[in-house]
Amino acid sequence: MTTSSDNPTATRTETDSLGSVEVPAAAYWGVHTLRALENFPISKRPISVYPELVIALAAVKQAAARANHDVGVLNDRKAAFIDAACQRIIDGEYHEQFVVGVIQGGAGTSTNMNANEVIANVALELAGYAKGRYDILHPIDDVNRSQSTNDTYPTALKVAMTYSLTTMLDELELLRRSFSAKGREFHEILKVGRTQLQDAVPMTLGQEFHGFATTLGEDLERLRETIKLLGEVNLGATAIGTGITADPGYAARAVAHLSTITGHQLVTAPDLIEATSDTGVFMTFSSALKRSAIKLSKICNDLRLLSSGPQAGFGEINLPPKQAGSSIMPGKVNPVIPEAVSQVAYAIAGADLTVTMAAESGQLQLNAFEPVIAHSLLQSITWMRQACWTLRVNCVDGITANTERLAGMVASSVGVITALIPFIGYGEASALAKLALVTGRPVADLVVEAGLMTREAVVAQLVPEKLSGIGPITQAIPVIELQGEPSE
């Protein structure tokens, strides 16, 4: 065995309850992390793919060190070096040392051990000692003091999701603004509305895009509500919620420090037994995220329909061309950005089912399946954030309207006769609509020829503001005098 960290094959010996193993000398992780690497070669994705989680773990450990120092169970020197090591990780260093897979058994113990070992070895280096000198500063006795995986890991998950959600909401808000801007840009462009894929009454393209913005705004509010739910943590509960091994004053101090470190208002759960075993908040959050993703996918489906063609489809709007659409058909351009966003929504819907099953499968005082909950939700947030970005930058901001086609479809639409029902009645309107479909003639001409309204009156009602519902069009239908005597 060699011990020089300059030698890439050098190792150091570390020992746990199962025996001694050789750990790469350059690694900041140790024996417990090595066991996890051997046991869980499943996902091929280390937890470092979620930097928010790594930062959250360091923040929890930093808060714990400060609280342990407050209550007198961690001396000044150890607390200071642990604190400094955590800050280095929070600032973005050593993330590549968080190597355990995102899918793991043990309710997150491997992730917690990875964090403990990296923080301990960074702290040892800062203090001038070699990695592995756990007689000086220990990953469990010192870094993990007053803690269990069962309170630090779910607390870190909630902090990580809050971090990640905050940045995702920023992107969702920018996307909402883009749709709103298109609503203003298209506010005077009339088009044919559709229900059940059949022609309906007119509206404006601006109204359609404003509706997209509104639905995204509603989801922003629902997702923001979950941030408060994520702020209730069980830090200080230790193994099952009884707080065993922790000073009575530790929990309150640890949560207060964590609030300061993260910049988010966190509170201690009122029932730590319940908070340690229950994962309901993750289901609530997952459901809200799925709702937003599915509604965004519906919008993307609408964009694909509205832009379909360009010759044999709706062809009402143009999506920015982003890449060649076919290896065999020259000139073909596909709606690749909305297609990608919809696939993200499908993945998020699947992840929501995973979270639901994992939440249901927890037994008694702990849910052992929080790692797959963490992976499912952090991946969903990350993908949703990037989907919002690419939809805004590579699609929505560049959408244009085919104004001539839209105007032509409105002019030939039978649906405009709906605006004349308050003046001619449903029965007359229905008969003339059928006649217009058969003959292909404009309904305005047929109404005038039938003597039901003057040309001026028809034109006055078929202006954009009235066809789109912006201006009132209703009035009492004139009484038609009946011929002959009333029947007995």
Residue written as token pair 């229950």: 278
pTM, two decimal places = 0.88
Q: Is the pLDDT of residue 67 over 50?
A: yes
Q: What is the mean pLDDT of the chain?
A: 91
Averaged pLDDT, 195-215: 91
Q: Tell me the per-residue pLDDT of 90-113, one tens digit each, with 9 for 90 and over.
A: 999 999 999 999 999 989 999 999
Averaged pLDDT, 177-189: 95
For the chain, give every domain's residue range.
Answer: 13-145, 151-224+276-322+333-403, 413-464
Look up residue 208 and give its two tokens. 């359609």
Which of these is catalytic: 326, 342, 380, 468?
A: 326
Q: Is the pLDDT of residue 482 over 50?
A: no
Averaged pLDDT, 66-89: 98
Of 415 and 426, more confident: 426
Return the CATH class of domain 151-224+276-322+333-403: mainly alpha
Q: Tell me the per-residue pLDDT of 281-314, one tens digit each, with 9 for 90 and over.
A: 999 999 999 999 999 999 999 999 999 988 888 9
Pick the CATH number of 413-464 from 3.40.640.10, 3.30.460.80, 1.10.10.10, 1.10.40.30: 1.10.40.30
Question: Within 10 A of 221 (CB to CB), how many other CB atoms are there?
Answer: 9
Whole-number pLDDT of residue 377: 97
DSSP readout, 50-94? Answer: -HHHHHHHHHHHHHHHHHHHHTTSS-HHHHHHHHHHHHHHHTT-S
The confidence band for 2, taking pLDDT boundaries of 50, 70 and 90, is very low
Does the annotation count 164 as an active-site position?
Answer: no
Whole-number pLDDT of residue 479: 52
Number of H helices, E strands in the chain: 17, 8
The CATH fold of domain 13-145? Fumarase C; Chain B, domain 1 (1.10.275)
Look up residue 73 and give its two tokens. 């169970």
Most confident of 98-102, 193-197, 363-367: 98-102
